[in-house]
């Protein structure tokens, strides 16, 4: 058996960052920025008013001071003249502060009769002016790589970056194997169950930036599996599910070998999800996952998501696992790394008693996987335990 980290390193060696492509700004959300981009304008591009009020010289601002209002500066329509001594310009939020003015008195602190303005309240110390380039300046960069959030998209838009260099989305082909499986929505025979893994993994991988496809279920015959693999040909990553151990009906190893895959078969020291296969098939990386629904999903978190991150130019690990205090005691772990379904609530980690790797209800209830290293001793209530969010 090999360790989880050795298995992960082997899988990561099968993939590399994909090409860079340029997409319109709106299509860039959730994509990985491939190269730093920089602003070619200042924001704001001029000193701008932060409030509705009157612009004047700061040196003249005091309670009961009077001014002649000589014009108006609105957003998109600045005042063209200059503010002289004893003068003020009506101004609105986002409007350019006119030349000669360096203070905006908010309208609540003034009264106006005709064109005569009086400051009626003591204005605070703030000038209510946003400096030119106060948010960002020409040359301010947005660093790469990063997953572009909605806030990043707003920033790129403000920088006038309409075309964004991102990594191509990894294409993934998902193949379920087994005579017992039918697709959701079909009518299963008495000995059949519904293929769940491909759908869970499809959702997981799509949310991590992949373009994934669910191929027709491969039956437990060599020809059926070969046909499915043929359909998967151009994917960056092919993932088979089930059929990966050494049972009589477990065909994935033999068939992929017949197709020229230099294959490695691993027994990984982990629970759930022991058998794992990996190699290169044509131009695709291929990973064979165990069939048990929870095992497949846990392997998706532990192995496939880091592979997708590398393909998108990100570090394999997005962050260190977090720790939380155990809500109860836990018995010692065995010789394999155990990813235990758990629920993080109120800052405490509740690890489920039942860890049956076929029970998806418990996976759906979990929002974390507590990680127990091999031979982790028994833990008492309140001790910190590492976990990943799922
Ligand atoms: P296998 O590795 O093919 O022996 O499968 C192990 C267990 O996982 C068996 O109980 C299968 O019925 C089940 N299984 C395999 N593939 C899937 C799938 N795509 N969806 C749900 N269960 C599956
Ligand atoms: Mg099977």
Q: Which residue has the tokens 């303005």?
A: 117
Give yes or no for residue 179 CB within 6 A of ligand 1. Answer: no
Whole-number Å distance, alpha carbon 218 to ligand 2 midpoint, is 10
Average pLDDT value for residue range 197-218: 97
If you count them, how many residues does the chain have?
Answer: 390
Q: Is the pLDDT of residue 334 over 80?
A: yes
> Residues with Cβ < 8 Å from 320, sequence gap 6 or more?
none
On whether the CB atoms of residues 27 and 165 are closer than 8 A, the answer is no
- Residue owning the nearest CA to atom 15 of ligand 1: 291
Report residue 13's pLDDT band, with 50, 70 and 90 as the boundaries.
Answer: very high
- Which ligand has an atom closest to residue 272 CA? 1
335-347 as b/e: b if 16+ CB within 10 A: ebbbbbbbbbeee
Average pLDDT, the chain: 95
pLDDT reported for residue 295: 95
CB-ligand 1 contact for 180 (6 Å cutoff): yes
Residue recorded with tokens 């009961």: 64
Query: For residue range 139-178, what is the model confidence (pLDDT) as tens digits?
Result: 999 999 999 999 999 999 999 999 999 999 999 999 999 9
pLDDT at residue 96, rounded to an integer: 98
More confident position, 183 or 262: 183
Q: How big is the CA angle at 327 (ends 324 and 330), to the nearest 5 degrees?
A: 95
pLDDT of residue 265 exceeding 80, the answer is: no
pLDDT of residue 248: 61
Q: What is the mean pLDDT of residues 288-292?
A: 93
Instruction: Copy the structure tokens of residue 21.
Output: 């492509």
Nearest CA to ligand 1 atom 17: 291
Of the chain, the percentage scoring pLDDT greater than 90 comes to 90
Ligand 2 centroid distance, CA of 217 (Å): 11
Mean pLDDT confidence for 279-288: 94
Can you tell me the distance from the alpha carbon of 142 to that of 33, in angstroms, rounded to the nearest whole number? Answer: 9
* CA pair distance 145, 38, nearest whole angstrom: 14
For residue 319, the model assigns a pLDDT of 78
pLDDT value of residue 244: 77
Strand 262-267 relative to strand 193-194: parallel, antiparallel, unpaired? unpaired
The response to whether residue 156 sits with its C-beta less than 6 Å from ligand 1 reads: no
3-state secondary structure of 238: strand
pLDDT of residue 267: 86
Distances in Å between the alpha carbon of 302 and those of 49, 207, 358, 362, 383? 51, 15, 18, 18, 24
Q: Atom 1 in ligand 1: which residue has the minimum CA distance? A: 242
Strands 348-351 and 337-345: antiparallel
Given a cut of 80, is residue 81 above it in pLDDT?
Answer: yes
Contact 203, 225 (CB under 8 A): no
Residue among 173, 174, 178 whose CB has most ligand 1 atoms within 8 A, to mutate: 178
| Choice among 95-109, 172-186, 270-284, 303-317 with the minimum mean pLDDT | 270-284
Categorize the per-residue pLDDT at 273 as very low, low, confident or very high, splitting at 50, 70 and 90.
confident
- Among left, alpha and beta (phi > 0; psi -120 to 50; other), residue 178 is left
Give pLDDT, residue 249.
65
Q: Locate the ligand 1 atom nearest the alpha carbon of residue 241 and give its number.
A: 16
Kindly give the distance from the C-alpha atom of residue 38 to the centroid of ligand 2, in angstroms, as a whole number: 51
Across the strands, what pairs with 369?
341, 388
Going from the Cα of 195 to the center of ligand 2, the distance in angstroms, rounded, reads 11
Structure tokens at 227: 């046909």
Whole-number Cα distances in Å, 272 to 184, 287, 291, 292, 359: 24, 16, 11, 9, 11
Q: Is the dihedral of CA 19, 302, 250, 254 positive or negative?
A: positive
Yes or no: say if 275 and 245 are a contact pair by the CB < 8 Å rule: yes
Mean pLDDT, range 307-318, rounded to an integer: 96
pLDDT of residue 110: 97
Check pocket membership of 200 for ligand 1, CB cut-off 6 A: no
């Amino acid at each position: 058996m090999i360790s989880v980290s050795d298995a992960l390193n082997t899988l990561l060696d099968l993939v590399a960052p994909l090409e860079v492509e340029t997409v319109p700004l709106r299509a860039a959300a959730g994509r990985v920025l491939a190269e730093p981009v920089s602003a070619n304008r200042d924001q704001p591009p001029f000193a701008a008013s932060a409030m509705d009020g009157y612009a004047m010289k700061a040196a003249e601002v005091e309670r009961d001071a009077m001014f002649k209002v000589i014009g108006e500066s609105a957003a998109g329509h600045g005042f063209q003249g200059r503010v002289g001594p004893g003068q003020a310009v009506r101004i609105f939020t986002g409007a350019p502060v006119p030349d000669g003015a360096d203070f905006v008195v908010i309208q609540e602190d003034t009264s106006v009769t005709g064109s005569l303005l009086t400051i009626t309240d003591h204005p605070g110390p703030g000038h209510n002016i946003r400096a030119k380039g106060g948010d960002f300046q020409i040359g301010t960069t947005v660093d790469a790589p990063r997953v572009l959030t909605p806030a990043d998209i707003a920033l790129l838009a403000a920088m006038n970056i309409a075309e964004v260099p991102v990594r191509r989305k990894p294409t993934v082909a998902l193949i379920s194997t087994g005579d017992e499986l039918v697709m959701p929505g079909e009518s299963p025979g008495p000995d059949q169950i519904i293929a769940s893994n491909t759908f869970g993994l499809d959702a997981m991988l799509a949310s991590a930036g992949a373009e994934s496809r669910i191929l027709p279920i491969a039956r437990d015959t060599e020809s059926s599996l070969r046909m499915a693999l043929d359909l998967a040909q151009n994917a960056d990553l092919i993932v088979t599910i089930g059929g990966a151990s050494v049972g009589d009906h477990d065909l994935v190893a033999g068939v992929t070998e017949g197709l020229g895959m230099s294959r490695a078969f691993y027994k990984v020291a982990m629970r759930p999800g022991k058998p794992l296969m990996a190699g290169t098939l044509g131009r695709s990386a291929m990973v064979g996952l165990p069939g048990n629904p929870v095992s497949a999903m846990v392997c998706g978190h532990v192995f496939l998501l880091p592979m997708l991150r590398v393909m998108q130019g990100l570090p394999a690990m997005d962050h260190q696992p977090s720790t939380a205090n155990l809500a109860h005691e836990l018995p010692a772990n065995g010789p394999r790394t155990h990813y235990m379904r758990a629920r993080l609530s109120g800052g405490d980690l509740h690890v489920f008693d039942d860890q049956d790797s076929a029970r998806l209800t418990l996976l759906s209830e979990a929002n974390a996987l507590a990680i127990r290293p091999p031979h982790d001793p028994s833990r008492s209530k309140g001790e910190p335990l590492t976990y990943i969010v799922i």
